[in-house]
Structure 1
Amino acid sequence: MGFLLAIEGADGAGKATASALVVEQLLAAGRSACVISFPRYTETVGGWALGAMLAGTLPRPVSPKAAATLYALDRMESRGVLMAALDAHEVVVFDRYIASNMAYQAAQVPADEAGAMMEWIAALETGAFALPAPNLSIYLDTPADIARGLILKKRKRSYTDDTFDAYEADTGLQDRVRANYAAMTQGRVLGEWLRVSTVKNGASRPPADIAAEIVAAL
């Protein structure tokens, strides 16, 4: 079975770019690798519902636990694809994985409930839905102002025409998500973590350099 590498971070951290470049560098080094991005908005029921939620088109509000279940459902529906990729490749890179669900949903409950929410999500995804924990998770640490600028450069999403989706538009939520990721990194939640700063001397690092640091860690 292949090595499962999860690329994590708040919105605008550069996860998709880093994931693609990590695979590109691994392939150039003669290793077998691929990327799977979550949510899979157009390929699962959970992904479709998440797209509608983030676009603000669902007919009623979604509680943090309900949202967490939808994110987990998207991965549960994708488990066959996930396991086939791990069987076929030396390294499978996930652009967002279980920790993303934990960071975002714990950011939407009172602070004294955040720990219990994270534990509940981890048990749902790795227990009830039997999803494998990552071998290594990467936290792309990106300051909020730089991340917001990167969001503005994103290509059009399949689920919304808006510049920012519901999560991206909430700056307070994004700050709490960053704090949750930092705590998970320090506490080695779900296994081993590596923090990678995407900024040096106040400016964004070249994406290829960020990817090279991740590949070196492998």
Structure 2
Amino acid sequence: MIVSIEGIDGAGKNTLVTELRKRTGAEVLCFPRYNTSLPARLAARALHGEMGDLTDSIHGMATLFALDRYGARDVLDRFRDSTELIVLDRYVASNAAYSSARAEDLSLCDWVADLEFGELGLPVPDLQVLLDTPVELAASRAESREAADSSRTRDRYESDLGLQERTLAAYHRLADRSWRGPWLIVDPRDTGEAAAAVESRLGAVRPHDHARGS
């Protein structure tokens, strides 16, 4: 089974992923894979202003993030239609939400789906979990990380509060449409309660049991 944890920057995704790993023993994979993936490293350089006008291209940045996930397809395919569990810190919905929020055009979500699930053949997740973190709280967490660790300088996306607001709204639209499978919205401010809600939902979801919304 493939479960993706989704949300804006500073939403608390890593905290929930870590809790789920403790509870379930699941394998964990975090995107973007900045330490091991060339496309992800190039995207990071672009977001920090080191790649000229590349970051201005919504489709270009989305393609880099998609290629990062394609580089992990062998790992992801092991959990396709499987009862074994992998928990992902961000997946395809992240690309869809951020791209459509940048363009202010929801049709970008379908372009991302066609690229990643279609052209690149990535597996559709069995459950997508949205952390419904208030934008102001998420932003304060990102600022605190930056202050505590000089290597965690906020990138162009993280420092754009308007983009974060539009991205959270885009995530909600995806969840409302059951975009590419079932969704669960949780309040991440109580990590234990959020993890329990995910575990409960997992018991009701069968591998590849997708109500594939568009």
Name the TM-score, length of structure 2 as normaliser: 0.86
- The AA in structure 1 aligned to 2:87 is V
Q: CA deviation at 1:154?
A: 3.4
Q: Unaligned stretches of 5+ in structure 2? A: 203-214
Change (3 A) 1:149 1:99: same
Is the CA contact (8 Å cut-off) linking 1:25 and 1:212 kept in structure 2? Answer: no
Residue of structure 1 in register with 2:137 after alignment:
146
Equivalent of residue 39 in structure 2, options 28, 46, 49: 46
- CA-to-aligned-CA distance 1:90-117 (integer Å, 9 cap, x gap): 11001000000000011111x3xx2221
Aligned mates of 1:126, 1:163 — CA distance in 2: 31
Q: CA deviation at 1:9?
A: 0.6
- The AA in structure 2 aligned to 1:171 is L
Aligned mates of 1:89, 1:54 — CA distance in 2: 37
Tell me the secondary structure at the aligned position of residue 179 of structure 2: coil
Residue of structure 1 in register with 2:69 after alignment:
75
- The AA in structure 1 aligned to 2:43 is L
Is the CA contact (8 Å cut-off) linking 2:37 and 2:68 kept in structure 1? Answer: yes
Residue of structure 2 in register with 1:13 after alignment:
11
Q: CA deviation at 1:216?
A: 1.8
Is the CA contact (8 Å cut-off) linking 1:86 and 1:92 kept in structure 2? Answer: no
Asked if 1:23 corresponds to 2:21, the answer is yes
Aligned mates of 1:135, 1:148 — CA distance in 2: 29
- The AA in structure 2 aligned to 1:191 is G
Q: Unaligned stretches of 5+ in structure 1? A: 28-32, 199-203
- CA-to-aligned-CA distance 1:31-52 (integer Å, 9 cap, x gap): xx11100011121121111111
Q: CA deviation at 1:213?
A: 1.8
**Alignment coverage as a number of residue pairs:** 201
Using the aligned pairs only, state the percent identity. Answer: 36
